[in-house]
Amino acid sequence: MRFCVVGAGFSGAILARHLSEKGHKVLLLDERAHIAGNCHTERDTSTGVMVHRYGPHIFHTADKRAWDYVQRFGTFRPYINRVKAISGGHVYTLPVNLLTINQFFNTTLSPKEARAFIEQKSDKSITEAKNFEEQALSMIGPELYKAFFYGYTRKQWGFEPTNLPASILKRLPLRFNYDDNYFNHPYQGMPEEGYTAIIANILKSDNIEIRLETKFEDVSEEFRHVFYTGPIDRYFDFKLGRLGYRTLDFERIEEEGDYQGTAVINYCDQNIPFTRISEHKHFAPWEADQFTRTVAFKEYSRLAEPNDIPYYPIRLVNEKAMLDNYIALARQTPSVSFLGRLGTYRYLDMDVTISEALAVCDRLDQLLETDKAA
C-alpha cells in the first residue's frame, strides 16, 4: 500500500521526497492547481516579474540543516530584507534601529545615547510582558509603539494589541546601530528561479505521483499512512469548531518603471486600510532592470471566512483551547500524522517548517526500522 501526503508545500514535499528516497510509493495531493503551497512563485504573464502569489517570502534562518537542505534543490542569491515604513507622513527604516530613532525623534544620538534614551522611555513597571502592548511599551516606549506598531498590528490582526501575545513582537529585532537588516539570521537568500522550482526539484522522483486540484476529502483510496499538512480542524470536519485565521486580499498595481523603489513598504498608520505594499521585482535585484513594467500588491488583512485561504493562525485563548481538543483527537488517529503550518496551527516560517518536516522524517526512519524488524 502506498503513502499519502496531503499538501504540496515545503512540509508535504519534504515528506514525499523522503519516503520516495526510502523506496516507498507516494501519492501527493493538493487542492490547488500548483505545487509549493503558500510559497508558490510564478512569472507574471503581463510584466515577466517573478511574483510570490501568496505574499512576499524571504528565506532566513539560523538553522544550518534547513539552509543546507534547500541549497541542494536550487541556487539561492544573497538577499537582505530591508523594510521601509511610513508613519505620520514620513518614511523610516525597520526594524527599529538607530536611523529610525534619530529620524523619528529628530536627534543625532550615538548607539550608547540611543540605548539610554530608549531605556528611559521604556515602561519599567512591566517585568514580564503579558501581551503585545506590554512587550512594546517595555521594549521601545510609547512613541515608537504608537507610530510603528499600534496601527499596523490593529490592521494585521484585527484586535487590540492588549489582546495579542507578546511573542508576535518578539520576532522583531531592536538595534542601536544603523543595521537595517530585518532579520538577525546568518543565512538569508532568495531562490534564483523562485520557490516553486525548488519544490519541483524536491519532488522529482518516479516514486511520487502528484495529483493537483484534488481534495483529500474526495479520495477514497486506502493508504499505509497519511501525512496531512492541511488545516487540522478541516481534517476532522470542523466537528469541534473552526480555528480562527486571518486571510489576505491583494490589490494589484501595474505600471511602467519603478513603483516604490524598494521591495516592501509597511504602512503603519491605522487610517490607511492596507498593511504593506510589496513590489516583487525588487525581490530579485539581479534581474530587476530587465523589466520595463512593474507589479506591486497592496496587502489587506481580515478575518478569514470559511472559504478563504487561511494565512495567519490567530491563536488567542479560545483558539488555543480548541486546538488542544483537536490535538487530543489527532492523538487518537494514529493512521495520520499532522504537520506544517496548517496541520499544527502555528505561524511557522519556512525554515522552521523545513526543520520540523526533517525531524518527522528522522522519526519515521526509526519507526520504519522497527516495523521491518517486527
Q: Which residues are catalytic?
A: 171, 175, 246, 276, 299, 347, 349
Closer to ligand FAD by CB, 258 or 349: give it: 349
Query: Which residue sits closest to ligand UDP, CB atoms considered?
Result: 152
Q: Which residues contact 34 (CB under 8 A, 6 or more apart)?
A: 8, 40, 42, 196, 212
67 is an interface residue for ligand FAD by CB under 6 A: no
266 is an interface residue for ligand UDP by CB under 6 A: yes
Q: Compute CA distances 29 → 53, 172, 200, whole Å.
A: 20, 35, 14
Q: Which of residues 136-165 bind ligand FAD (CB under 6 A)?
A: none
Closer to ligand FAD by CB, 12 or 151: give it: 12
The region of 159-167, 171-179, 201-209, 213-221 touching ligand FAD under the rule CB under 6 A is 213-221
Which partner in ligand FAD, ligand UDP, none is near 10 (CB below 5 to 8 A by kind)? Answer: ligand FAD
- Whether residue 95 is preceded by a cis peptide bond, meaning omega within 30 degrees of 0, is yes
Which partner in ligand UDP, ligand FAD, none is near 294 (CB below 5 to 8 A by kind)? Answer: none
Q: Compute CA distances 322 → 63, 69, 235, whole Å.
A: 31, 34, 14
What does the angle CA 274 – CA 310 – CA 74 come to, to the nearest 5 degrees? Answer: 90
341 is an interface residue for ligand FAD by CB under 6 A: yes
Grouping H, G, I as helix, E, B as strand and the rest as coil, residue 65 is: helix
Grouping H, G, I as helix, E, B as strand and the rest as coil, residue 141 is: coil
Residue 3's beta-bridge partner residues? 26
Q: Which of residues 135-194 bind ligand UDP (CB under 6 A)?
A: 148-149, 152-153, 156, 168-169, 171-172
The region of 26-34, 68-76, 111-119, 146-154 touching ligand FAD under the rule CB under 6 A is 26-34
Smallest distance from ligand FAD to CB 122, Å: 28
